[in-house]
């Protein structure tokens, strides 16, 4: 007998055979049934196994711009809200708790960014102290709401906020796996980064590559006992602009990565089937979706700081989010790198509307 795909069920007669023997060897037979039958079916009334009903979503604004050099990305959360995010979520039966934007400067106790940013570099990195402290603040908030079995939605800001949002997910739900949708791998360490910008080093902190957690500003990852992200719990989709050091990390660690070459070759449907099969297989596990808007082709989302041609099409981007929602395992998400100040003639609105639409699809909105 050959079973295809993670949703395939065991043939009825074999299920019956195993079920009859549960009384004799209950533990063994239950494990066998779970192994071959896949994840438990999700009741139609539930969105996710990891979000209690009535479904609640906590929105956290993370207006951090210090992980990269361009002004304006800190305005992303405000613009996304203004384009109707809360109303879209409420229309889809979510109970929305919007915490507003975190005040990183005030809560960090470090003063205004310009007072210390120039002297906050560590090694080849830039503004490490500010980014590290801001992410600790974000971690504390996202962890608290993840523990309450809510969907946690973080709005960036640049992608350096992924340190805090993913740390909160891992602390609250240690089995969490990450789907990283991005044009860039964001896995440089301080030893491999060519720019020193921390939005390109997020995963090195989460995976503690080159002892990145020992950097000033990031000791809290160890102090808080944040689980180290395992290479098998990370999958990339949409990569197309990688540094030499990033390629080396991905290959040496065996991280599953579907670049735009694979998207072109197999199609986004097959890609998402392979993504979910790799990180879920036949088990239930919380998913964190980290979606950098620059994964989308600039034709559809031009208002972002690191545009790279040849990205995901409009429908490919939406399909990724739809399939994550259909998995029944989404527990948290961040949407980052929307910078409404970088384009004119409607490019800012197209980008923000794309961001709102992707969030809506990831949280269960469907065509039919």
Q: Which residues are catalytic?
A: 159, 182, 184, 186, 199, 292, 294, 337
CB 91 within 8 A of CB 185: no
The beta strand positions in the chain, using DSSP E, are 56-62, 95-101, 151-156, 177-181, 234-239, 256-259, 287-292, 330-336
Q: How far apart are CA 322 and CA 149, in angstroms?
A: 21
Q: How far apart are CA 311 and CA 299, in angstroms?
A: 9
What are 333's strand-pairing partners?
Answer: 153, 289
Classify burial at 22, counting beta carbons within 10 Å of its beta carbon; exposed 0-12, middle 13-18, buried 19 or more.
middle
CB 164 within 8 A of CB 135: yes
Q: Helix crossing, 162-172 with 128-146: angle to 10°?
A: 30
Q: H or E segment at 138? A: helix 128-146
């Amino acid at each position: 007998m050959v079973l295809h795909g993670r949703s395939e069920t065991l043939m009825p007669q074999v299920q019956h055979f195993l079920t009859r023997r549960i009384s004799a060897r209950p533990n063994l037979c239950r494990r066998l049934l779970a192994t071959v039958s896949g994840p438990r079916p999700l009741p139609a009334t539930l969105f996710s196994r990891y979000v209690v009903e009535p479904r609640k979503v906590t929105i956290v604004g993370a207006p951090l711009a210090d992980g990269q050099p361009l002004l304006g990305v800190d305005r992303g959360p405000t613009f996304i809200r203004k384009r109707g995010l809360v109303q879209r979520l409420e229309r889809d039966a979510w109970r929305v708790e919007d915490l507003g934007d975190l005040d990183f400067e005030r809560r960090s106790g470090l003063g205004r960014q310009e007072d210390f940013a120039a002297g906050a570099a560590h090694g080849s990195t830039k503004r490490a102290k500010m980014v590290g402290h801001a992410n600790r603040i974000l971690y504390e908030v996202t962890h608290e709401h993840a523990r309450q079995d809510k969907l946690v939605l973080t709005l960036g800001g640049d992608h350096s906020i992924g340190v805090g949002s993913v740390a909160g997910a891992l602390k609250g739900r240690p089995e969490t796996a990450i789907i990283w949708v991005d044009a860039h791998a964001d896995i440089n360490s301080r030893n491999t980064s060519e720019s020193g910008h921390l939005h390109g080093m997020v995963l090195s902190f989460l995976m503690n590559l080159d002892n990145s957690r020992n950097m000033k500003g990031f000791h809290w990852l160890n102090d808080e006992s944040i689980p180290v992200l395992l290479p098998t719990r990370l999958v990339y989709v949409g990569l197309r602009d990688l540094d030499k050091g990033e390629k080396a990390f991905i290959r040496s660690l065996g991280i599953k990565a579907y670049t735009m070459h694979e998207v072109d070759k197999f199609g986004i449907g097959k890609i998402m089937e392979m993504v979910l099969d790799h990180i879920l297989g036949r088990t239930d596990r919380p998913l964190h979706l980290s979606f950098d808007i620059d994964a989308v082709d600039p034709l559809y989302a031009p208002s972002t700081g690191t545009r790279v041609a040849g990205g995901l099409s409009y429908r490919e981007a939406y399909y990724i989010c739809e399939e994550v929602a259909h998995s029944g395992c989404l527990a948290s998400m961040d949407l980052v790198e929307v910078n409404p100040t970088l384009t004119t003639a409607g490019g800012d609105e197209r980008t923000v509307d794309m961001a709102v639409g992707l969030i809506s699809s990831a949280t269960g909105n469907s065509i039919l």
